[in-house]
Amino acid sequence: MIKKFLNKVFKKRAHAIDAINQAENSLPSMAKVIPAKKHKIDPSLISDAAHKTCAGLHKAGFDVYIVGGAVRDLLLNSKPKDFDIATNAEPEEVNKIFRRSRIIGRRFRLVHVMWGRETIEVSTFRGHHDTVNPKAGDAKTNESGRILRDNIFGSIEDDAARRDFTANALYYNAQTQDVLDFHNGVADVKSHVLRMIGDPVTRYKEDPVRMLRAVRLSAKLGLKIDKATEQPISKLADLLHDVPPSRLFDEMLKLFLSGHAIESINVLRAQKLHHGLLPLLDVVLEQPMGEKFVMLALKNTDDRIMQGKSSNPSFLFATLLWHEVLKEWEVQKKNAPMIPALYNAMDEVIQIQAKKLAIHNRFVATMKEIWAMQPRFEQRAGKRPFALLANPRYRAAYDFMLLRCESGEIPMEIGEWWTKFSDAKSEERTAMLMPETAPKRKRKRMPKKKPVATDNGSA
């Protein structure tokens, strides 16, 4: 019995020593090791879920690091919004360690580990395309060098070289609290520079979305884009036409909901990246009224996010495309009455947009509701204002209407009336109603239906 117990203890110890040796032997020679007292990352900013995921993989004998944006944010002393983890364990091995986990993705196979409401993304170190002989189906690029599929595993050095910016190629070891730095990222973060790893042109050709990421991350983090990293962007802007719409949509969403949308859009315009991004956005931004409205909407979104409030993507995309809807509405009014013309215009705008940017259907439905409610704010007589107020989308449609007032599209007085009306008590509301101006429509009497005889005699 005692022998069995001692055996068990020694076996565990041997396993732990193996794990330490393995970790030390695999410590990459190319990396600078930056200890906690130098980088000064506050471990309390790391979520429990991230700690538990690291501990689970470490215990099983694998190398494990917090990587990417999280380390960059920790160095800037801000709380990361999510944590990504990189390891030498393959997806199936990670999946076996954590009960609540699943393997996802095709382009990149990775594992989601779920801890309550938090999900940690665990990816296996990625290898180079040119150093490994890719097994058929594991890696694929198209003729312009864009990576289409990428499931070749490699060493931590390979993984670091595959990341986009030096600031994003830092590896934090939660056990030792050291940061491994392969590309001088810590110095770049400390001096607020965003620098591409490797040759920027090649890296943009591999993945044109990196151009948008450069803009977004520099605006969000207040980093200056390094000259060589910035210089090719405007020349390569057209490469974005190749990017699948769903990826473009996800990136745009991140960009607009980063809390720095105004800054981002200004840089996008300066780099000529806005052309062909939202195909209608370039047109909107070129009309003074449209530009004023979009900028007000983005400012409003930035303010909300900075105050820690949520912001609805449907609302945002509804604002971005509103002036195109208005323009198309004018065209459609020639062929149809007011309201059906508005519906036709909405469909037309969404259809053009969908070719470039796959706005998810669930967002499209809400966008249309917000747009369709706009003419109803001009009706302030009878029962209609009460019905509008009771609509579940009233709040979003009202906020949208206020932006229309502020941008000068409709009189300010309409917004003021609705603000007062929604705050008022019910008898005050009735007193506020405007007199009916339009003649009341007479209801047509429907001819009474004769009961239809059926086989069993019931009508």
- Check the CA dihedral 25-28-31-34 and report its sign: negative
Shortest separation between residue 251's beta carbon and ligand ATP, angstroms: 9
Structure tokens given for 288: 């003074």
Q: Does 164 bind ligand ATP (CB under 6 A)?
A: yes
Residue 246 beta carbon to ligand ATP: minimum distance, rounded to whole angstroms:
14
Residue 73 has which token pair? Answer: 């944010």
Residue with the CB atom nearest ligand ATP in the bound state: 69
Q: Are 363 and 317 in contact (CB under 8 A)?
A: yes
| Candidates 132-140, 204-212, 239-247, 278-286; binding stretch for ligand ATP (CB under 6 A) | 204-212
**Which long-range CB contacts under 8 A does 226-235 form with residues at least 24 apart?**
226/193, 226/194, 226/195, 226/196, 228/195, 228/196, 228/200, 229/165, 229/194, 229/195, 229/196, 229/200, 230/271, 231/200, 232/200, 232/201, 232/204, 233/204, 233/271, 233/273, 234/271, 234/272, 234/273
Site for ligand ATP in 254-283 (CB under 6 A): 254
Cα pseudo-dihedral 32, 38, 43, 49, rounded to 10: -10
**Strand, helix or coil at 139?**
strand
Least separation in angstroms between CB 254 and ligand ATP? 6
Q: Among ligand ATP, Mg ion, none, what does residue 164 contact (CB within 5–8 Å per kind)?
A: ligand ATP
Is residue 163 part of the contact set for ligand ATP (CB under 6 A)?
A: yes
The amino acid at 381: A
Both tokens assigned to 91? 């997806």
State the binding partner of 207 from ligand ATP, Mg ion, none, CB within 5 to 8 A by kind.
Answer: ligand ATP
**What's the min distance (Å) between Cβ of 249 and ligand ATP?**
14
CA distance 66 to 170: 8
- Smaller CB distance to Mg ion: residue 254 or 376? 254
Least CB distance from residue 220 to ligand ATP, whole Å?
Answer: 7
Which are the catalytic amino acids?
Answer: 82, 84, 164
On the CB side of 110, CA atoms within 13 Å amount to 18
Q: Which of 90, 207, 347, 399 binds ligand ATP (CB under 6 A)?
A: 207
Please list every residue from 3 through 62 that binds ligand ATP, using CB under 6 A. none
- Site map for ligand ATP, 66-85, x if CB under 6 A? --xx--------------x-
* Residue 209 binds to ligand ATP (criterion: CB under 6 A): yes
Q: Using an 8 Å Cβ cutoff, are 370 and 376 in contact?
A: no
Residue 181 sits in the site that holds ligand ATP (CB under 6 A):
no
- Between 245-256 and 209-221, two packed helices, what is the crossing angle to 10 degrees? 10
The one segment of 52-60, 108-116, 162-170, 233-241 that binds ligand ATP by CB under 6 A: 162-170
- 150/328 with CB nearer Mg ion: 150
Under 8 Å CB-to-CB from 124, ≥6 apart: which residues? 86, 87, 88, 89, 90, 91, 94, 109, 110, 153
CB of 146 vs Mg ion, minimal distance in Å: 22
69 binds Mg ion (CB under 5 A): yes
Q: Which does 168 bind (CB under 5 to 8 A by kind): ligand ATP, Mg ion, none?
A: ligand ATP
Question: Which phi and psi angles does 396 have, rounded to 5°?
Answer: -65, -45
Total binding residues toward ligand ATP, as defined by CB under 6 A: 11
Give residues in contact with ligand ATP (CB under 6 A): 68-69, 84, 163-164, 168, 207, 209-210, 213, 254
Give residues in contact with Mg ion (CB under 5 A): 69
